[in-house]
Amino acid sequence: MAAGKGEADIVKARTDKREYRRIVLKNSLEALLISDPDTDKCAATMDVGVGSFSDPEGLEGLAHFLEHMLFYASEKYPLEDSYSKYITEHGGRTNAFTASEHTNYHFDVNTDCFEEALDRFAQFFIKPLMSADATMREIKAVDSENQKNLLSDAWRMNQLQKHLSMEGHPYHKFSTGNLDTLEVRPKARGLDTRLELIKFYEENYSANLMHLVVYAKENLDKIENMVEQKFQDIQNADRSCFRCPGHPCTPEHLQILVRAVPIKEGHKLRIVWPITPEILRYKEGPCRYLGHLVGHEGEGSLFYILKTLGWATGLSAGETDWTLDFSFFKVVIDLTEAGHEHMQDIIGLLFKYIRLLQQSGICKWIFDELSAICETKFHYQDKTPPADYVVNIASNMQIYPPHDWLVGSSLPSMFNPGTIERVLEELSMDNVRIFWESKKFEGHTDMFEPWYETPYSVEKITCSMIQEWVLGAPNENLHLPAPNVFIPTDLSLKNAQEVKFPVLLRKSSRSRLWYKPDTRFSTPKAYVKMDFNCPHAGNSPEAEVLTDIFTRLIMDYLNEYAYDAQVAGLYYGINHIDCGFQVTLVGYNHKLRALLETVLEKIAIFKVKADRFSVIKEMVTKEYQNVKFQQPYQQAMYYCSLILQDHTWHWMEELEVLPHLEAEDLAKFAPVMLSRAFLECYIAGNIESSEAESMVQHVEDVFFSGSNPICQPLFSSQHVTNRVVKLERGMSYFYSAEGLNPNDENSALVHYIQVHRDDFLLNVKLQLFALIAKQPAFHQLRSVEQLGYITVLVQRNDSGIHGVQFIIQSTAKGPGNIDLRVEAFLKTFESKIYEMTDDEFKNNVNTLIDMKLEKYKNLREESGFYWREIYNGTLKFDRKESEVAALRKLTQKELIDFFNDYIKVGAPQRKSLSVGVYGNLHSSEYTADASEPGPYSVKIDNIFSFRRSQPLYGSFRGVSGHVKL
């Protein structure tokens, strides 16, 4: 019988209408039950208090490998991958991850089949089947996952920090695992990895180390009965919780300056201190307080000074890699070329700022301000998808007492200056580790990190050396931030009339305003999008790059003023889009208008500051240079888009023009870009219609009014379109390219099938095919054939042109061979569509209907859907209802006919495009594949020649709804 019922002491948000209950089963499994009668999805997660820190010596990655293996099959449900198949076929998703001290398994699914899904899930923790056949295949999957990470700077630098710690400490370990650690080395020692895996499971997966969260539609009593029945048979071996043996850094690992060579262009400083974990004093929030100040970007902050000096383009600060036994405080600074040359000055300024914090004392008003921001954020938090919600809570259950399971450490409420001072004292010169990354260190290092082969060197530094850096640093006016004027104080809800879909509130030759008040989410938040459609913004590679720099400069100029808005929960962005630029504001509506007016003013009075232009140009240049270090599958997706989307420029052309652009070029370009514009606006949330109209009127007044207006309305011929290449029926096209990074062994293929221009009936046929084929494709191509860790089948929508694509990254096979495997899968899948029973077909249709009728969780999610309709020009706000109506009438024969016409290999209407990126393991295949196109295929040699020779689909945008002039 369960014990410890009740939710009375679980702290929950004021706006949270869900019910909670904590129970403990007789096997000591602790669970949190959540009842939400309004949910469209049910979810569950099991968090096991065992992670990579528990890997046995010489079997690095075993905990991660177990996470991969556990979901294959169980004694009760022995068919391999039947769990994933069941979840996918019922509108859900499943995943897992391995952390240092815990491993998390989770899923969500449509509500009507939750009980069976939960039963299948529970069996993995009762009697999993880890077959010998699956073991070797999944070791290859773990190895493929590791291959994906080998050229990632984030993974490399993280492992380097771990490497430079005490060898016997679990923090020092390599956590992911690979073929070497899970097969080659164990075999050489006479170990059977599968037996070791089973032993690890039996010794560590004990009910008393598990925390379960179940999120369902039923009432708490029903959920409790379900949980008791399904999880009470998990064995309780009464294992003790893993604890680390103190801090991983001894004196030899402190006071060091590590120079490391990254993969990507750019320079970075990571300054790290071992500290007392905040978790021990989470109500007092010492790291939150210090991270807020050290990472601040307002006037007088460390970042503000570094930015003013032209030395940094980004800075973040806070606690990282924390456990109950050790933790680190980390400051990460993105450096400019000039900043790289002033590393010592930057470290000096950082320690000057730390000294300022010590001398200023711990300020109660700053703590109170932070506390107020956190409290508002918690009580007005957006509802998130159940799967994400339960994962977050389950992680909290391992650490916090039950009353704080929903809160975690997000509500610092106890002001204790002594606690903050103690952590501040730990940010000292004799406790520091400095990691300095730059490609300029190439050839000047003398060591390699063993797992990722990152070149590095270590130099001991002393307090007196750092003291000299402090004395030599510029004498700048560092000071604490001013009170935050953007903290909302009016959280009242406006009276709004129920509106099902966005309404066209206002239109003119200058703008169009779509509006939807919030009557669903009851939060004091708003969502504002304003697209400046400017034909001159994208008519050449130079214009494209200058528009990009323009938007970044506006953000740069706003930063010290508007940073406080982001801290207070009002987010803003000015982004370059394919037809101009976009202004976005999302968050509390109280101070939104003031921020919007400042943003618009910065755009209207834009002047180029030469020093900031140089910094932004340098940053943009590095981003373009780093395109070549993208994952091969990302490169393949880029080429696919370049082939399909008319009026786009190659990144290499943009990189070519960059060096020649100067501040004067932007000064001349900006007025021309803004000279003609049309504003597409969407305003939603806790805002009245008169306020929305007033906002757009203000934009028009700023940009279109006066004797010498900044903007003129567009001519009828200038409205921006988004046209997509129309592939020829019965043809298969092939484009191949060598991987941009010669050191990357991975190859990739995107196999795209173009189907139709937006149409409700064809849409649902394509969606139903994708739903039915997704899991079999993953099982065959990833689990059985082991082509690669990244293996997905997804739908694709290019401005209303719909299709489907297989995306596969592999070291096992080259793109040509992968393409053959995709086509082989489609041939075998054909019989599955024919063999489907009436009940199976109806179940799949009902699953898709349930997915479509799923309610939006929050304003951002709802607005994202409506904005895509506006941005694409399709304007089908009733899309879900209309597609559900089409689905209800759909027959199995219609689906089979659709497959035979559009998807089947060799079908008369089939239009496919295969894009292959060849890594260095398959470079010899590149020449052969490129010179031997298969039957019915067209080899694309030049993307732009091909694009110019093809017909285009009509554009939805720039056609419907605009005012005729």
- The DSSP-derived string for 633-666 is HHHHHHHHHHHHBTT---HHHHHHHGGG--HHHH
CB atoms within 10 A of CB 152: 15
Residues, the chain, total?
A: 965
Q: Which of 30, 60, 67, 883 is flagged as catalytic?
A: 67
Q: Which two tokens stand for residue 480?
A: 């604490």
**Is the CB of residue 65 less than 8 Å from the CB of residue 179?**
no
**C-alpha to C-alpha distance for 119 and 76, rounded to whole angstroms:** 9
Angle between helical axes of 663-675 and 610-625 (0-180°, round to 10):
90
Closest CA to 571 of 605, 539, 596: 596
Alpha-helical segments (H) within 836-914: 838-852, 859-872, 879-889, 892-898
Q: Positive or negative, the Cα torsion across 289, 290, 291, 295? A: positive
Name the amino acid, one letter, at 265.
E
**Is the CB of residue 260 less than 8 Å from the CB of residue 456?**
yes
CB atoms within 10 A of CB 746: 26
**C-alpha to C-alpha distance for 703 and 532, rounded to whole angstroms:** 11
Name the amino acid, one letter, at 735.
Y
Q: Which of 101, 138, 224, 560 is flagged as catalytic?
A: 138
Closest CA to 665 of 547, 557, 534: 547
**C-alpha to C-alpha distance for 686 and 526, rounded to whole angstroms:** 5
Residue 878: C-alpha distances to residues 871, 875, 884 (Å): 16, 9, 10
User: What residues contact 543, with CB distance under 8 A and at least 6 apart?
Assistant: 536, 537, 669, 673
**C-alpha to C-alpha distance for 545 and 650, rounded to whole angstroms:** 11
Name the amino acid, one letter, at 843.
N
Q: Which two tokens stand for residue 97?
A: 């991850």
**C-alpha to C-alpha distance for 128 and 122, rounded to whole angstroms:** 10
φ/ψ (deg, to 5) at 345: -65, -40
Beta strands in 243-389 (DSSP E): 256-260, 267-275, 312-320, 327-335
Q: Positive or negative, the Cα torsion across 328, 329, 335, 338? A: negative
**C-alpha to C-alpha distance for 329 and 351, rounded to whole angstroms:** 14
**C-alpha to C-alpha distance for 960 and 965, rounded to whole angstroms:** 13
- What b/e readout covers 568-605, taking b as 16+ CB neighbours within 10 angstroms? bbbebebebbbbbbbbbbbbbbbbbbebbeebbebbee
- The DSSP-derived string for 714-781 is PPGGG-----BB-PPTTEEEEEEEE-SSTT---EEEEEEEEEEES-HHHHHHHHHHHHHHHHHHHIII
**C-alpha to C-alpha distance for 354 and 73, rounded to whole angstroms:** 54
Q: If DSSP codes are grouped into helix, strand and coil, which group holds residue 12?
A: coil
DSSP 8-state secondary structure symbol assigned to residue 509 = S
Element (H, E) at 277: none
User: What residues contact 311, with CB distance under 8 A and at least 6 apart?
Assistant: 335, 336, 338, 339, 342, 345, 346
Instruction: HSE, CB side, 13 Å, CA atoms: give it for residue 686.
Output: 20
CB atoms within 10 A of CB 956: 23
Annotation says 138 is catalytic: yes
**C-alpha to C-alpha distance for 353 and 115, rounded to whole angstroms:** 56
Closest CA to 390 of 231, 213, 216, 211: 213
Residues acting as catalytic residues: 67, 138
